[in-house]
Amino acid sequence: MTQAPVRPRVARPQAAEGAAPRWVPVPWRPAILVASRTIVLSLIALECVVLVLWATEQGSNAGADGALRSGLAVWLAAHRTGFEIHGGHFGATPYTLTLLPAVLLWRAGGRLVRMHAVFGQEQIVRAAGAVAAGYATVNVLLCFVASQPGARPIPSQALLGSAALAFATTAGGALRADGWSPALPGRLSAVLRATGTAVLALVSVSCLVLAITAVVRHHAIYSTGHAVAPSASGTVGIVLLDLLAVPLAVVWAASLLLGPGFGLGAHTGVSLASANYGPVPGLPLLAAVPAPGPFSWAALLLLSIPVGAGVAAGLRLARGTQRANEIAIRALQTGVFAGLFFALLAWLSDGPIGPGRLSVAGPSPWQTGLAAFVEIGGGALLVAGAQAIRRRR
């Protein structure tokens, strides 16, 4: 077998001994190329899907330009861009689609290191900032192209969301290709690993709960989808919209398992105690929400799931130390990190889904974060208590 040719690595420039550090210019040209390439490739893939759905839709009165503008609108929404609509604001983010530019930008960050000789944290930060500036500028310009009657993108949100995504992913990919790894203290590293264990456990169970709910309420989901889009191409489009909304649904399910639940309109909510909401948009995934009314007391047993995730985190903490007081301190720190993480997820998945009462939808960030701190941290503390009892015996 013949071995694949090995790409030669670009040599790092070495500064002369005793020489003053020279200013490194911002690599604008490769950065702009990276930003443009990512946007072009992502939009081509998205617009091809949109045009195929438009061409196969029977009885559609929209023109090709309208279909292309709709594709641009979905692209901008993937960067957490809100829209001004008749009588309100729409701010839901299809994070599944966000993965496409994120992966391309991550790979582009590595390409900046390997092919354009961008080395060192300072130069990588400069390059990532240049990519973010070009990427965000193009998306702001696309806001004016994507504007349609009744739905206008908000340029300021496109600027901030695009810049944050481009900077974080490009810098991350470049730093990894450059061989950089954060040097964390052993105690903090143990706490972060335990937090990851708890988060992974709760998110995994949330996915399972969402899947079970979809199976149980499949009749309602099918009826809603058939009523909204009776044609074959319309059904495909609705299914794609549901897939784009899956990450939001997983976060909403996690907030439900934690206790606070989520809202589906002003002064409404779905928690472990009851469901209280009015008419919702005709998205089949929303038909999986339990019917309005009080729930059985047995639903409160679901609170044991985040507590169990905390116990799993505590058991991982106990591997590094056998002292109960040390486990307790790390358990509280794990609860803090888990609370911050789920508060961030709730904030990212929170947003208006329509005018009027639908201007409030999604989980409450502070309530979700507080519940995660109490339940996951409390579960980890149970391990510390069990360890202390065992040592006394």
| Domain presence at residue 203 | yes
| 238-260: pLDDT as tens digits | 778 788 888 999 999 999 999 99
Extract the tokens encoding 222. Answer: 């099918």
* Residues in Cβ contact with 309 at an 8 Å cutoff, skipping those fewer than 6 apart: 197, 198, 199, 201, 202, 205, 376, 379
Question: Distance of CA 275 to CAs 210, 250, 256, 305, 375, Å?
Answer: 16, 18, 11, 20, 22
| pLDDT of 20 above 80 | no
**Phi then psi dihedrals of residue 90, to 5 deg:** -120, 130
Q: Which of 129, 148, 177 is the last residue of a domain?
A: 177
Mean pLDDT value across the chain: 84
| Domain presence at residue 3 | no
Q: Which of 177, 195, 213 is the last residue of a domain?
A: 177
The pLDDT value given to residue 224: 77
Of 1-15, 286-300, 338-352, which gets the smallest average pLDDT? 1-15
| 118-173: pLDDT as tens digits | 777 888 888 899 999 999 999 999 999 999 888 899 999 999 999 999 999 999 99
The pLDDT value given to residue 88: 78
Kind plus residue range of the DSSP H or E element containing 183 = none
DSSP state letters, 251-284:
HHHHHHHHS--BEESTT-EE-SSEEE-----S-G
The pLDDT value given to residue 205: 95
The pLDDT value given to residue 250: 93
**Do 120 and 196 share a structural domain?**
no
The residue that leads in pLDDT, 225 or 109, is 109
For residue 278, is it left (φ>0), alpha (ψ between -120 and 50) or beta?
Answer: beta
Q: How far apart are the first and last CA of the chain?
A: 63
Domain count, the chain: 2
Q: How far apart are CA 281 and CA 264, in angstroms?
A: 10
- Looking at the chain, the whole-number percentage of residues with pLDDT higher than 70 is 88
Predicted structure pTM score: 0.85
| Domain presence at residue 9 | no
**Do 82 and 149 share a structural domain?**
yes
Range of the domain at 159: 28-177
- Helix (H, G, I), strand (E, B), or coil: what is residue 250? helix
**Do 247 and 193 share a structural domain?**
yes
The pLDDT value given to residue 59: 57
- Separation of CA 152 from chain center: 23
| Domain presence at residue 134 | yes
